[in-house]
Amino acid sequence: MILFFLLGAGAYVGWNIGANDSANCIGTTVGCGLISFKKAVVLVAIFAIVGGMLQGEQVMKTIGKGIVNADLNYTAIMVALICSGFFVTLATFFRIPTSTSQAIVGGVVGIGLAVGAQVNYSKFLTIAGSWVVCPVLVLTLAFLLSKLLNTGLQKYGGNPMRVRSVLGWLAILSSCYLAYTMGANNAGNAVGPIANLGIVHPKILLAIGGTSIALGAITYGKKVADTVGKGITPLDVQGAFVAQVASAGGLHLFSLLGIPVSTSSAIVGAVIGVGLVKGADAISKKTILTILIGWVLTPCLAAGSSFLLYRLIEAF
């Protein structure tokens, strides 16, 4: 029964990842009118499961035992998962693309402190540093790719309709690639603390994580998709393609390194990079500020609430 509730808590976090982060995979393609939300979300669901199953294990190990050097008990793990998931649900409700990676890392650190376990601060600082490096890296890559593509199209453009058609298909393929990397980097976030117990096979946990991400995308992914696709800067097909390729490349790199990074920070950084090609005035400063506040508050609130809730349960 305890294991059932634990897996349910992990699935809840996975559902939140799908509900909030699926927008990062399809928000740009849906926002520029390239594909309908229903078709896009089916692609996300399929590739998120595949990514989680094939390459989700490295991040799962980091979340499971890389941050807190202790075997956490059932209550501690459940509290970390529920608190992390709650604040992502809140952000999704208000259409803010937040970071489930930051939430779960914050939740695990808070629980580690609550139980008096040794927190691997070196690993934590590496992960926290990646939350800053990733969007900056992806922003730069998206800006350079956009400039390069603009130059190439002006020089060798040819038939504009044909170019748009090719870019459209490339944008859809890049959405699939981004969904794959989301599964690879985030399925482990949902079930990493449970993997710490060593009582469920890793592949089964990753299947649960990937499937719950898919369900979250299908059932509640549209709200944040509108913010990513339309709220930051207006995007055309070319911009959607560049933003997705740049963010997927950055995410895949960190997944291979076993570092849980934010899909939200990657795509937001990429969209800003594309928007900066048109000039700073093309970027919605208000939307960016709201997103940044969400990124800072999410891990802090997840850590604080995990710590306090566990101590409260322990006291009773």
The model's pTM: 0.77
Average pLDDT for the chain: 83
Q: Which residues of 164-181 are buried (b: 16+ CB within 10 A; e: fewer)?
A: eeebbebbbebbbbbbbb
Eight-class DSSP state of 281: G
Span 110-169, pLDDT tens digits: 998 998 888 888 888 888 888 888 889 999 999 999 999 888 887 776 677 787 788 888
Strands (E), 19-109: none
Span 14-65, pLDDT tens digits: 898 888 877 677 777 877 778 888 888 888 889 988 988 888 887 787 776 6
Cα atoms in the 13 Å half-sphere on the side-chain side of 175: 35
- Integer Cα distance of 158 and 136 in angstroms: 33
Domain ranges in the chain are 2-315
Q: Which residues contact 120 (CB under 8 A, 6 or more apart)?
A: 66, 67, 68, 69
